[in-house]
Amino acid sequence: MAKKIIILGAGLAGLSAAWHLKKKGIQATVFEKEAIVGGLCRTKKVNGFVFDYDGHLLHFQNNYALKLSKRLLKGNLIRHERKAWVSNFGIFSRYPFQANLNALPKPVAEECLWGFVRVCNAKPAMPGENFLKWINATFGLGIAKHFMVPYNEKFWAVPLNQMVCSLWVEKFIPRVYLSDIVNGFLEGSCDHFGYNAFFWYPKKGGIMQLPLAFEESIGKIFKNSRINRIDLEKKEITINGKDKEKYDSLILTIPLPELIKIARPLPHKILACLNKLQWNSIYNLNLGVEGTCQPDKHWVYFPHKETVFFRAGFFHNFSHDLAPKGKSSLYAEVSYSRNKPINRKNIVKHVLRDLYKLGVITKKNKILVTDENDIKYGYPVYNRNYIRATSVIKDFLYSNGVITCGRYGSWKYMSMEDSILDGKEAAEVF
């Protein structure tokens, strides 16, 4: 008799796992709490505007993931060269900051250049260093002071000296050489640094077209199905408080901290590890506005503390299909955590205030639509407990027939491509 495999969550990782299992001739049962698939990789239409749940772009480093996405989207995928910027000192400079110093005030640019020169002759940062120490040792005190430290403090919403960095920084933070810094100091750089130098995005319909294409290939998915309990001993889940389903193996893509509420039995050691997991949350404000807005930019980073959001992006520059003719659409992202909360009563007012103050939008851009999304689980934080806690949790789950998968199940900083590949890897277990 064939084993029964249940997948919890129909985000990209869960959908990919189900797709790859089906390719092997194995039909998994997928449960999703929302009315539609995609997880955070979803899109909504509001008064003629098409908004994603926050900014979601495909950055392909793996040829298999690219070919699969092209196959699923059947031509509805366009490649873009990144146009990213940094807002600082009252100006926009090109991203990455460290390779485009020429746009900055001369004293700041010189401080950044000579700070980098000093670390070139010093002992290199070790992978095991805390994140703050790694930044200072890798980029020098100038670049650290004017971009790397304030931006990352704002983004992660935790002290950087409490984060480990060996598991993720090399992939997600562009490294540059002295020649790149000097060239950027003299004339600015157009080199394609970093994993996100190019990105792919659907020509029509927003980012949700990818999970919808997965769903079409997979078949029936049980939506509006909230998991209330996972009985690890009986290998049984409870759905919507009443229906029960047995399983032989479980692929888990829902956030690990949710297990505290729904999984039983959990030994004290596992509960202690789950309670050590840390994350930031993202408040996302989408706007539809009148007229043209930042036609030369895909997204902008905002490192300074005076601005409430850490990043803003422009949907209409990803695809003309996302805003009605003569109008623009954008998103702003605010990071927060238990230790760094936001005031929800004033957050929209503060975001709009800063967008106007920095010239991201102007009085000519009359606001036609606002759309708010409060994302509880933004990015898993690599705190000092991360390596041991996640290792103990995953070993325990695996010994109980549970495979973790995706950004939240695996509890890793993942791109969309990574989630697709993680789902493939989960399917390869069977």
Q: What is the torsional sign of CA 139, 143, 144, 150?
A: negative
Q: Could you report the per-residue pLDDT of 364-394, keeping only the tens digit for each?
A: 999 999 999 999 999 999 999 999 999 999 9
Closest to 430 measured CA to CA, from 253, 251, 230 = 251
Least confident piece of the model among 160-169, 175-184, 316-325 = 175-184
- Asked if residue 121 has pLDDT above 80, the reply is no
**Residue 5 contacts residue 29 (beta carbons within 8 Å):** yes
pLDDT of residue 127: 57
343 by Cβ neighbours in 10 Å (0-12 / 13-18 / 19+) ranks as exposed
pTM for the model stands at: 0.94
Give Cα 272 to chain centroid, integer Å: 26
- Determine the pLDDT at residue 147: 96
pLDDT score at 310: 97
Nearest Cα neighbor of 256 from 390, 55, 364, 60 is 390
Tokens of 82: 């990144």
Q: Which residue has 């509805």 as its token pair?
A: 76
pLDDT band at 139 (very low <50, low <70, confident <90, very high): very high
Q: Give pLDDT, residue 171.
A: 81
Confidence of residue 281 (pLDDT cuts 50, 70, 90): very high
Predicted local confidence at residue 181, as pLDDT: 87
DSSP state of 123: P
Residue 124 banded pLDDT, cuts 50, 70, 90: low
What span, in angstroms and rounded, lies between the C-alpha atoms of 272 and 410? Answer: 18
Task: Calculate the alpha carbon distances from 419 to 62, 90, 163, 219, 282 in Å.
Answer: 12, 37, 23, 20, 19
| Residue 83: CB atoms within 10 Å | 16
pLDDT at 125 over 80: no
pLDDT tens per residue, range 15-71: 999 999 999 999 999 999 999 999 999 999 999 999 999 889 999 999 999 999 999
* CA–CA gap between residue 31 and residue 209 (Å, rounded): 19
Positive or negative CA dihedral for 377, 133, 56, 222? negative
Domain regions of the chain by residue span: 5-42+207-268+385-427, 97-191, 278-381
Contact 375, 409 (CB under 8 A): no
Give me the CATH topology for the region 5-42+207-268+385-427. Answer: FAD/NAD(P)-binding domain (3.50.50)
Can you count the helices (H) and strands (E) in the chain? 15, 19
Mean pLDDT across the stretch 194-204? 89
Task: Provide CB contacts within 8 A for 428, sequence distance 6+.
Answer: 20
State residue 195's pLDDT score: 72
Roughly what angle, to the nearest 10 degrees, separates helices 416-427 and 12-23? Answer: 40
Question: Does position 165 have pLDDT exceeding 60, yes or no?
Answer: yes
Residue range 278-381 in CATH 1.25.40.10: no
Do 278-381 and 5-42+207-268+385-427 fall under one CATH topology? Answer: no
Q: What is the pLDDT of residues 260-277, one digit of tens each?
A: 999 999 999 999 999 999
Give the whole-angstrom CA distance, residue 180 versus residue 188.
9
Q: How confident is the model at residue 177 (pLDDT cuts 50, 70, 90)?
A: confident
Closest CA to 54 of 299, 241, 338: 299
pLDDT band at residue 209 using 50, 70 and 90 as cut-offs: very high
pLDDT at 189: 62
Nearest to 207 by CA among 53, 378, 18: 53
Q: What is the DSSP letter of 145?
A: I
Please, which residues have CB within 8 angstroms of residue 80's CB and are 6 or more apart in sequence?
A: 198, 199, 200, 201, 298, 318
Q: Scan for tokens 């392909």, then name that residue.
A: 60
Which pLDDT score, from 0 to 100, does residue 191 have?
Answer: 61
**Cα–Cα–Cα angle for 59, 355, 334, rounded to 5 degrees:** 55
Which contiguous run of DSSP H or E holds residue 423?
Answer: helix 416-427
pLDDT of amino acid 74: 95
Question: What integer pLDDT is reported at residue 322 of this predicted model?
Answer: 96
What's the average model confidence in pLDDT over 108-113? 95
Say what angle helices 209-218 and 12-23 make with each other, to 10 degrees.
Answer: 30
| Average pLDDT taken over every residue of the chain | 94
Measured in degrees and rounded to the nearest 5, phi and psi for residue 316 equal: -65, -20
pLDDT in tens, 235-250: 999 999 999 999 999 9
